Amino acid sequence: MSELNLETARQIIQTTFEYGSKNNIKPLAVLVLDSGGHPLAFERQDGASAGRFAIANGKAYGAIMLGVGSRSLMSRAEHQSYFVLAANGAFDGRVIPMPGGVLIRDENNNLLGAVGASGDTADNDEAALLASIHSVGLVADPGE
């Protein structure tokens, strides 16, 4: 696969919701971005708060724009806050350096896009994404 398509983006969202339901995760919002940072698909489960889109977007957007999963961005923010603050300024404040923004790669390590989730703890958001990306036959790259 050389690019992410709408059908696969929707499968990632659906399987993320299924994982969340099976694991008692609070209602999620999930946004899939293509390799240029453009939205492919977004859904918010009933009960997820309205602001979850912005958070899911910030996690995914930061990952795709900086080329690392948002877990790595959190680590970088903890150790080099000046870099993440500067990058966030360059991206008009759209970067959220917390787990839950995962790069999507194919079997040859080509970057296809990113997905962000928000609704539960950052670790649970990320766990749901990792399971869903794997379930559609792609490689999840959450960072360190």
36: domain CATH number? 3.30.450.150
Any domain includes 107: yes
Do 95 and 88 meet the contact criterion of CB atoms below 8 Å apart?
yes
- The four Cα atoms 133, 114, 1, 28 give a dihedral, to 10 degrees, of 40
pLDDT of residue 1: 58
User: Order of strands across the sheet with 29-34?
Assistant: 39-44, 29-34, 111-118, 101-105, 139-141
Q: Are strands 139-141 and 101-105 parallel, antiparallel or unpaired?
A: antiparallel
**C-alpha of 122 from chain center:** 10
Report yes or no on 11 lying in a domain.
yes
pLDDT of residue 3: 84
Q: Domain for residue 74, yes or no?
A: yes
Residue 1 lies in a domain: no
Any domain includes 123: yes
Using an 8 Å Cβ cutoff, are 112 and 133 in contact? no
Per-residue confidence of the chain (144 residues) as pLDDT tens digits?
578 999 999 999 999 999 999 999 999 999 999 999 999 999 999 999 999 999 999 999 999 999 999 999 999 999 999 999 999 999 999 999 999 999 999 999 999 999 999 999 999 999 999 999 999 999 999 987
Q: Within a 10 A sphere around the Cβ of 127, how many other Cβ atoms?
A: 21
Cβ-contact 42, 31 below 8 angstroms: yes
- Alpha-carbon gap, residue 29 to 114, rounded angstroms: 14
In a domain, 58, yes or no: yes
| pLDDT reported for residue 143 | 85
Number of folded domains that form the chain: 1
Determine the structural domain holding residue 92 and report its residue range.
6-141
Contact status, residue 4 vs residue 34, Cβ threshold 8 Å: yes
pTM of the model as a whole:
0.95
